[in-house]
């Protein structure tokens, strides 16, 4: 239900900004606000600007611009995620590690959408479930980094490139510039315009065979969830996220997530995320324990049965192919015992990043597929459901991941390596992973169905 319009003031530093339309009002005993994260001592990956007043002015401007996503769209996404948690549907999330302002061009955006559509079609047909399609798109312009400084060969230290919302990859562009946040808003809006336009699927994919639809004769016919592709990005830059918050809705994306590096229990990112109505992802790496994961869920969802919290959380696991069998089962068991019923999603990309002899960061398709299929099997073995797949990919014919083919060999990585950060699956590699995952899931499901039939 949409509540009446209500305005209040929010603060970044010492300057007030208007908050946009209040939709779901905070509960009377809840101290959360879009800027309550500023009271936390732990704010990891915070960007340091030369002039905080300029940041404040930019955030004020963004706060008064139209929302990129409406509360109604966010509630629709939440309903789709709710169906996937118990296995009634499936969520596919895919897109760039870090989007580039320079890639907001019709043919590039259309190819990303085409890949997502084709993958969703394969998943829907193969798993016999509806598929909610989510892009890492229209806002994934900031990235957490392991080090905030880069040392040049001469010993000089410069700020690390942290995504186009923060700074540029060239050495002359490394100083964080708050005006880039405004550029990010308009590039996100332009991307959404392309996604929603009538020509969104009018161009063929840029792959090995650009004149042939990647799905064979059927190609891409219609969207698996009735025409909607939801947007998502990591909620990393908290001043920006607060400026995009309308009451309890982050109106810059349908789905946001808190990263592995910023999920501290006492941190600003968890504080910000806990008050939102948006479906929220939590990235979980191999060092996570069941106890800490339950604490994190309790922090974001203090009452798992409260209507404001049910169906809201997605756990996005990213372990590495060799660690799934040992790390995942105790997490599943701890979460189930806690009473929380989140959507479990597998990110088989991040834990399988390595460095090739050429110096390029890369990922092997065999490891990605092995991690995804192991997740599916381990969830089945533990009475749980894997409800989603999270892939870093692009619709272009890039050479960033290794797949065993001639053009996908380590020797060819430099041929068309365009990623701003981590390596992405190419169009054909993205299809290969999804098809392999579906084939395995069908095999496992058939075994369980046969076992159930024999026990009758």
| Number of C-beta neighbours around residue 79 at 10 A | 13
Was 218 annotated as part of a binding site? no
Contact between 131 and 91 (Cβ < 8 Å): yes
Nearest to 193 by CA among 109, 289, 291: 109
Alpha-carbon gap, residue 354 to 219, rounded angstroms = 33
Closest CA to 413 of 402, 397, 424: 402
Quote the distance between the C-alpha of residue 361 and its chain's center: 20
Dmax (CA) for the chain in angstroms is 72
Q: What distance in Å separates the CA atoms of residue 375 and residue 407, rounded to the nearest whole number?
A: 29
Tell me how far apart the alpha carbons of residues 435 and 250 are, in angstroms, rounded to a whole number: 33
Neighbouring CB atoms inside 10 A of 445's CB total 15
| Distance between CA atoms of residues 196 and 179, nearest Å | 26
CA pseudo-torsion sign 194, 198, 201, 203: negative
261 appears as a binding residue in the annotation: yes
Is 411 within any annotated ligand binding site?
no
Q: Is the dihedral of CA 432, 228, 192, 390 positive or negative?
A: negative
Closest CA to 124 of 369, 437, 376: 437
Q: Which residues pair with 355 in a beta bridge?
A: 361
Do the annotations mark residue 260 as ligand-binding? yes
The alpha-helical segments, DSSP class H, found in 301-385 are: 324-338, 365-381
Q: Is 136 annotated as a binding residue?
A: yes
> Is 424 labelled as part of a ligand binding site?
no
Contact present, 280 and 56 (Cβ < 8 Å): no
91 phi/psi in degrees, rounded to 5: -115, 130
Q: Please tell me whether 234 is known to bind a ligand.
A: no
The continuous run of DSSP H or E covering 250 comes out as strand 249-250
- Residue closest to 140 by CA, chosen among 49, 9, 254, 223: 254
**Which stretch of DSSP H or E encloses residue 455?**
helix 427-455
Per the annotation, does 283 bind a ligand? yes
Q: Please, is 26 exposed, middle or buried when counting C-beta atoms within 10 Å of its C-beta (0-12, 13-18, 19+)?
A: middle
Q: Where are the alpha helices (DSSP H) in 197-283?
A: 238-243, 268-274
Q: Any binding-site annotation on 350?
A: yes
Closest to 92 (Cα-Cα) out of 370, 379, 316: 316
List residues forming the annotated binding site: 97, 136, 260-261, 283, 318, 350, 392, 422
Return binding residues for Mn(2+): 97, 350, 392, 422
Q: Which residues participate in the annotated binding site for phosphoenolpyruvate?
A: 136, 260-261, 283, 318
């Amino acid at each position: 239900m949409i509540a009446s319009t209500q305005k209040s003031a929010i603060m970044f530093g010492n300057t007030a900004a208007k908050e946009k339309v209040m939709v779901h009002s905070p509960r009377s005993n809840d101290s959360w606000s879009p800027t309550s994260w500023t009271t936390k001592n732990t704010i990891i990956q915070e960007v340091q600007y030369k002039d905080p007043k300029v940041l404040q002015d930019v955030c004020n401007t963004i706060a008064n611009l139209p929302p990129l996503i409406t509360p109604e769209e966010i509630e629709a996404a939440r309903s789709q995620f709710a169906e996937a948690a118990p296995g009634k549907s499936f969520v596919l999330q895919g897109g760039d590690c870090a989007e580039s302002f320079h890639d907001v061009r019709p043919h590039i955006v259309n190819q990303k959408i085409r890949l997502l559509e084709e993958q969703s079609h394969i998943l829907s047909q193969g798993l016999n479930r509806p598929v909610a399609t989510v892009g890492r798109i229209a806002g994934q312009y900031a990235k957490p980094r392991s080090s905030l400084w880069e040392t040049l060969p001469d010993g000089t230290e410069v700020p690390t490139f942290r995504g186009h919302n923060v700074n540029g990859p060239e050495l002359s562009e490394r100083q964080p510039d708050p005006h880039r946040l405004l550029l990010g808003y308009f590039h996100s809006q332009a991307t959404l315009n392309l996604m929603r336009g009538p020509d969104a699927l009018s161009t063929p994919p840029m792959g090995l065979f650009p004149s042939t639809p990647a799905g064979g004769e059927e190609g891409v016919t219609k969207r698996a969830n009735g025409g909607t592709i939801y947007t998502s990005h990591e909620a990393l830059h908290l001043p920006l996220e607060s400026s995009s918050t309308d009451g309890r809705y982050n109106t810059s994306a349908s789905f946001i997530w808190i990263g592995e590096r910023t999920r501290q229990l006492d941190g600003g990112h968890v504080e910000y995320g806990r008050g939102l109505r948006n479906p929220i992802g939590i990235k979980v790496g191999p060092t996570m324990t069941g106890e800490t994961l339950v604490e994190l869920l309790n922090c974001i969802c203090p009452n798992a049965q409260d209507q404001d919290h049910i169906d809201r959380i997605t756990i996005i696991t990213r372990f590495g192919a060799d660690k799934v069998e040992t790390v995942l089962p105790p997490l599943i068991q701890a979460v189930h015992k806690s009473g929380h019923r989140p959507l479990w999603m597998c990110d088989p990309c991040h834990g399988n990043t390595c460095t090739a002899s050429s110096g390029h960061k890369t990922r092997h398709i065999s490891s990605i597929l092995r991690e995804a299929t192991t997740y599916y099997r381990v969830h089945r073995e533990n009475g749980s459901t894997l409800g989603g797949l999270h892939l870093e990919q692009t619709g272009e014919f890039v050479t960033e991941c290794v797949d065993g083919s001639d053009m996908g060999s380590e020797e060819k990585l430099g041929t068309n390596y365009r990623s701003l950060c981590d390596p992405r699956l190419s169009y054909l590699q993205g299809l290969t992973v999804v098809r392999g995952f579906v084939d395995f899931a069908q095999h496992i499901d058939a075994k369980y169905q046969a076992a159930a039939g024999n026990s009758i």
